Amino acid sequence: MSADFCKNAQERPEPVKAEVKGNIPSWLQGTLLRNGPGIFSVGETSYEHWFDGMSLMNSFTFKNGEMTHRSRFLRSDTYKANMEAERIVVSEMGTMAYPDPSKNFIFKAITLLNHTIPDFTDNGASNFIRYGSDYFATSETNYIRKIDPVTLESQEKVDYTKYLPVNMVTSHPHYDKEGNTYNIGTTIAEKGKTKYVLFKVPAVPQKGKSKDALALKSVETICSLPCRSLLTPSYCHSFGLTDNYIIFIEQPFKLDILKMATAYMRGVNWASCLKFCPEENTLIHLIDRKTGKSTEIKYYTGAMVVYHHVNAFEDDGHVIIDVIAYNDTSLYEMFYVRNLKNNTGVKDTGYSTPSYRRFVLPILSDKGVAVGQNLVKLKYTTASAVKEKEGKLVCQAEVLCGGLELPRINYDVNGKRHQFVYGNCVEESAVAKQVAKFDTETKNMVYWSEENCLPSEAVFIPRPNGESEDDGVVLVAVVNRNPGQSSFVLILDAKTFKEVARANVNGELHKDVHGLFIPHES
């Protein structure tokens, strides 16, 4: 990933038909939305971290064997303010914005106050979320921006805090079969309490609410969990969901609120206020979806950093949790622009390769079980949960494979036992050059790659009325760095992981982060 990855993109808001090679399955009808940073410099100012770039949204619409592409910048308040000032004036996690030196003292004082009690950015450049029938561009702050999923036009700005006491919310929600959305937010020192809030947004508005009303107005709090440490809440990017449980990992990767309040004065970015405490353990919360209460047994494991859950499911008195885990925070460091421009690799940064870890949490009471006994009874895993004392189990994961990130599954089996996972290969670098299909049962992995091509997230789309878990296609937006060749959307047969078609885009694609697929019936 060289300097060209941090150059500003150009939006292409009008739909343009792609040149298709091969045959796109006729049943593939819908739109793949992708989100990621697209503007890295404004005037003479530049972002210091790749994740800070202003959002560029892409849509790839499949219909009758054809694909059309369009892209737009998210017209957030951040975008408008930066463009009007012709410089970066809104701070992001890895980039602190300071006033133009020509501004007066009062302006600088107001800027300082805004950073002491942060009013976060609304630059939703990480993913898309569906609440009710509406779609929103999101990062992880309290602001999301409604968008038109067809035209990608930006609409109203929404503040979570008007409906829930949360300052940060994950960009990886879950959806159930009824269309309800589940998510987790963090409350920073509200009435002296720092806590995690688990909530549900119903698919259908409550009685008495307008059909067109914002779905968040009907939000239901499932439960609140106090932080283990009052002023250092754990960073949470995703979580797990089964039929009966919500899984939240409280990891020793924390945001120091006091340091965050003084970061601007100290001349450092907010990301420097995130700290990893390897000497501390990780607490895995298992919350009953119906009662909102945590299980009596507490589950602990060693220090780790988890950004992405793969899946979670229940089996014979156990909850199984699959995650992608790191031993440190070097992943974030890899994406500082200075490192990307220097083509910094594994040896230069000490990049910690992630591992695919499977944890097993026994649900049944540990009363009468001897200290030191392993309570896991499943035969297909080597994961353990050993009783340390009454009500406390120490869990050791089974490592299924290494070097896989941005995991996706057939979401129809989310919360159920799955066999296949699709992801990016990051064995040597956080910037993937391959995508893979991993079989959790045989541990076999098959790959797709092409010279000088950088794939995005591998998104599985099930064939209607499919006969097996991997009956469908995998869609991958690919940045093609070969001179004179187009970037493209790759369509892989999910069973064989062989290419069935590619749609060459008339224009550049840029490295993105996450996205979702909207079937046409939606």
Q: Which residues are annotated as a binding site for Fe cation?
A: 172, 237, 308, 514
Q: How many residues does the chain have?
A: 522
Q: What single-letter amino acid sits at 475? A: L
Q: Are 177 and 243 in contact (CB under 8 A)?
A: no
Query: What are the backbone dihedrals phi and psi of residue 218, each rounded to the nearest 5 degrees, phi first?
Result: -105, 15
Tokens encoding 34: 């992708």
Q: Please choose, from the candidates 445, 394, 449, 402, the residue with its C-alpha nearest in 3D space to the C-alpha of residue 422.
A: 445
Show binding-site residues. Answer: 172, 237, 308, 514
Q: Strand pairing partners for 61? A: 31, 68
Q: Are 450 and 478 in contact (CB under 8 A)?
A: yes
Q: How far is CA 168 from the centre of its chain?
A: 13
Q: Name the DSSP letter for residue 136.
A: E
Relative to beta strand 41-42, strand 143-147 is unpaired
CA distance 102 to 284: 50
Query: What are the backbone dihedrals phi and psi of residue 273, each rounded to the nearest 5 degrees, phi first?
Result: -90, 0
Q: Are 285 and 234 in contact (CB under 8 A)?
A: no
Using left for φ > 0, alpha for ψ between -120 and 50, and beta otherwise, residue 29 falls in beta
Q: Please choose, from the candidates 242, 255, 355, 362, the residue with its C-alpha nearest in 3D space to the C-alpha of residue 308.
A: 355
Q: What is the dihedral of CA 514, 488, 354, 140, to 10 degrees?
A: -10
CA distance 180 to 520: 19
Q: How far is CA 393 from the centre of its chain?
A: 29
Tokens encoding 445: 């992995």
CA distance 252 to 221: 25
Relative to beta strand 392-396, strand 298-301 is parallel
Q: Are 170 and 184 in contact (CB under 8 A)?
A: yes
Q: Please choose, from the candidates 326, 322, 318, 361, the residue with its C-alpha nearest in 3D space to the C-alpha of residue 441.
A: 322
Q: How far is CA 392 from the centre of its chain?
A: 30
